[in-house]
Amino acid sequence: MGGLSIWHLLILALFILLLFGGNRFSSMMGDVAKGLKSFKQGMADDEEEKRQRYDEQRRAEPPRQLPRDEARPQEPIDVTPRPAEPAAPPPPRDDERR
């Protein structure tokens, strides 16, 4: 009750079609499609413009170099695993005898 059934939607669609006519309705839908296409193209152009500005900015900047300590030469990083230290024995439980 109060909801739109399929019959209500069909009658509404038929009424709109009769009100606007077949040609008028199709031309309106064509205009909507052209508008959506123009909107998507505008968004793509905006993204391309941002990408071009970013690329130009990156080319204009000198490459960044990480600061290094000039006093001592760079040493290679040691990545060999160290042997595990022996774990301490667990503390005695309360219910165990000492």
b/e 31-48 (16+ beta carbons within 10 angstroms → b): eeeeeeeeeeeeeeeeee
Which burial class, exposed, middle or buried, applies to 26 when counting CB atoms under 10 A from its CB (0-12, 13-18, 19+)? exposed
Q: How many helices (H) and strands (E) does the chain have?
A: 2, 0
The answer, as to whether pTM is greater than 0.75, is no
- Residue 82's identity, in one-letter code, is R
| 69-94 tens-digit pLDDT | 555 667 788 888 888 887 888 787 87
pLDDT of residue 17: 81
- Residues present in the chain in total: 98
